[in-house]
Amino acid sequence: MNKKQILRRIFQIVIVLIGISFVTFLLTYLSPGDPVRNMFSATGVMPTEELVQQTRDEMGLNDPFFTQYFRWLFNCLHGNFGKSYSLNKPVVELLAARVIPTLKLTLMSLILMLIISVPLGVASALHKDGIIDYICRAVTFVGCAMPNFWVGLLLMLLLCVKIQIFPVIASGGDFKSLFLPALTLAIAMASKYTRQVRTAVLEELSQDYVIGAEARGVKRSTIIWKNVFPNALLPLITMLGLSIGSLLGGTSVVEVIFSYPGLGNLAVTAITSSDYNLIQGYVLWMALIYMVINLIVDASYVYIDPRMRLKR
């Protein structure tokens, strides 16, 4: 991608973010529940109706919809997403505090996923319709069918309750606290990626350059690891970018099960307490992550695939 294309994509990201911000604000505005009452309930206070209305006036919640939206959007453009109603802290501060634990979980999940899926996918492709292929396909089929929450509960029962190797509550600090949530996420991703790796390797093995290299007497192992494997991984880069965006956005179910202090757990807290400011900040954060990562992935193709450089 050249500079003009990158600038155009950045402009598109800004337009999409404005659209997402409007839809998100509208949905929270129309949703049932009163954030002021939830705010008082979180502190254990039973407010009078007069106090509720006074607080709503002070917070600007009785203003017309567009007045509230543009005021909120103006503050967002200046890095101010407001204050959380339920936690009584700035939204930016709450999101920033969950970024590092989420990055740790994302990195370990991707590492475990690649360790599982790449060898299985390549082995399945190289032994097509053999016993290894059938075993890999059966395992990945089961892995795709199992929901994350069920896998997490099984791992917790086996490794936390029965064997007691890992702690039940993941603090997000050390390796033991991080491993089980990451493994839970990696199992589902590895099942999908194993199938994709297998399909990509089989497609490359059927290409003419493989047949030509074999005819010239090039070792099969050399063909696979120097030509087939790098080419097979190129289509997976887009999937990997989407997976990174999903993990950074937060994986709510797994984080809640293990009490992991990530963005997904924070989002569940915001939804259950009707914390509008926190919900809106979280949605914008997720949208920005997805679009920026997609931009990075698209731009990386030029440097990863030499054929793309020739087209420029």
- ∠ CA 85-89-93, nearest 5°, is 130
Residue 172: per-residue pLDDT: 58
- For residue 132, give the DSSP letter: H
pTM of the model: 0.80
Q: What percent of the chain has pLDDT over 90?
A: 3
Distance CA 38, CA 89 (A): 15
pLDDT tens string 170-189: 665 677 778 888 898 888 88
Residue 308: per-residue pLDDT: 58
Residue 95: name the closest of 287, 293, 270, 281 by CA: 281
Residue ranges for the chain with pLDDT beneath 50: none
φ, ψ for residue 83 (rounded to 5)? -110, 140
Distance CA 98, CA 250 (A): 10
CA–chain centroid gap for 136, Å, is 26
- Mean of per-residue pLDDT scores for the chain: 82
φ, ψ for residue 66 (rounded to 5)? -65, -30
* Residues whose CB is less than 8 angstroms from the CB of residue 171 and which lie 6 or more positions away in sequence, other chains included: 177, 261
Distance CA 123, CA 47 (A): 65
CB 254 within 8 A of CB 261: no
Distance CA 134, CA 125 (A): 10
CB 79 within 8 A of CB 126: no
- For residue 301, give the DSSP letter: H
CB 84 within 8 A of CB 91: yes
Return the number of other C-beta atoms located less than 10 Å from residue 289's C-beta: 19
CB 124 within 8 A of CB 198: yes
Return the number of other C-beta atoms located less than 10 Å from residue 66's C-beta: 10
CA–chain centroid gap for 249, Å, is 4
pLDDT tens string 31-83: 777 777 777 776 667 777 788 788 888 878 888 889 888 988 888 888 888 88
Distance CA 37, CA 51 (A): 10
Residue with tokens 């002070």: 58
Give the pair of three-digit tokens for residue 192: 């999908």
Give the pair of three-digit tokens for residue 257: 């099960």
Give the pair of three-digit tokens for residue 273: 């307490």
Residue 112: per-residue pLDDT: 92
Distance CA 266, CA 264 (A): 5
Distance CA 252, CA 279 (A): 13
